[in-house]
Structure 1
Amino acid sequence: MTPPLSPRELYNKRTVIYEIGMGALRYFSTIEQFIQATEFSLSTPQPAILDLGCGAGTYVPWLQKKFPKAHITGFDYAKEMLALYHSRYPATPLLYGNYNDPSSFQTFPDHKPTMIAPHSFDLVISICSLSEYGNFDDVFAWINNILKPGGKFFAIGIRNNWFGKMSGLYWNFRPRSQAHFVNKAETHFSEVKTLPIAWKLFPMNVLKYAILCSK
């Protein structure tokens, strides 16, 4: 029997169909609306933003619209996704690696070992990535460390329901509950807010949860 593909292998293999399929399911449009409506209360109009699990750069236009003067850095573990991101936004800094293992971090596309210094970012976002593949205790501590004073961590995760479990079978993860995410986050951040998702954003409100943490 052929062993199942790892998440990294899956995203590399499905780079092209990912955006087509997710677009058809209102995945992108509903998340974009949610981000535009969310009040992040950042301390600067020129935030440094780290996008963990950035994929092919789908979220860049949304972030540029929300934060016109932002300095965005993308981070992903799928080289094919990052290659597409780089072709779209060649001036945007990109990092390759496993966010569960800082020793794996490399610049992209030249693959030089690198690290992220403490107090580097005003906002770290992760949309349906860290919540599914992250080792919460280690990654939350690391995110807190790289956030500037007063920085924010914004995450959208997959709910632990039937829909989440079906998604997990396709993308090779086991969904964890919103409560579990919040409980872990509360040990690393000064404030953890659960953000309501309106019914007008269906099916996002059924499939996902949203959390905003303050350093």
Structure 2
Amino acid sequence: MPALKLYGTAPVDLGLVDLSPKEMMFWMYCPIKLPGSWNITTPENLDQFNDIVQRAYENCDEQRWIDSYVYLTAKTLWVSKDNPGNRPGWHSDGFMTDDLNYIWSDRNGTEFWVPPQLYCFTQDHHASLPEMELAGASGPVRTYPDKHLLRLDEFVIHRVAEQTPGFRTFVKISVSKDRYDLEGNSINHAFPAWDYVPRGIERNHTTSEKK
């Protein structure tokens, strides 16, 4: 019988990474490393986030890093209450996987659901989302200081905060054994091309293999 999965743990705070991005951009799961290699290859205008990539590398198990794809998401956008820059709603990054995600933002930090007692959710990408919404509505909610890098595994339930108007940068480093192959993801033209498949409306999976 599979081990019981309990959700609602807090992220790991890896401390301040003091960057102040200015360039407006939208990069979504751009691959910057392939399995079996140490080498990080970023498009030039993503080099400004090398300090975040380095901090994630230092935190990650060395063999896991070598064996994984690494993806970089970077968004500097004008945000507001009606346009938060990320999909709203409670969810898990890497749900039903062992993916690691490292997230960073310079304002209006992500909200985390950290209940006094951990919860189980249906191990299904579709059924779990309304369950997470219902659980998250009961609180409590925790936030962290701006510009702190946070490590998330699948057990960390979170959502984008309500945004006050202004520019906001959000960065995510994703470490995964899976190829993120959904249409709309950013392409790193330094790597061999792969095929992409249509993206679903749910946010709990990042690859066609998890549908």
| TM-score normalised according to structure 1 size | 0.28
Higher helix share: 1
Higher-RCO chain (CA-CA 8 Å, sequence separation at least 6): 2
Scaled by the length of structure 2, what TM-score is found? 0.29
| Bigger proportion of residues as strand | 2
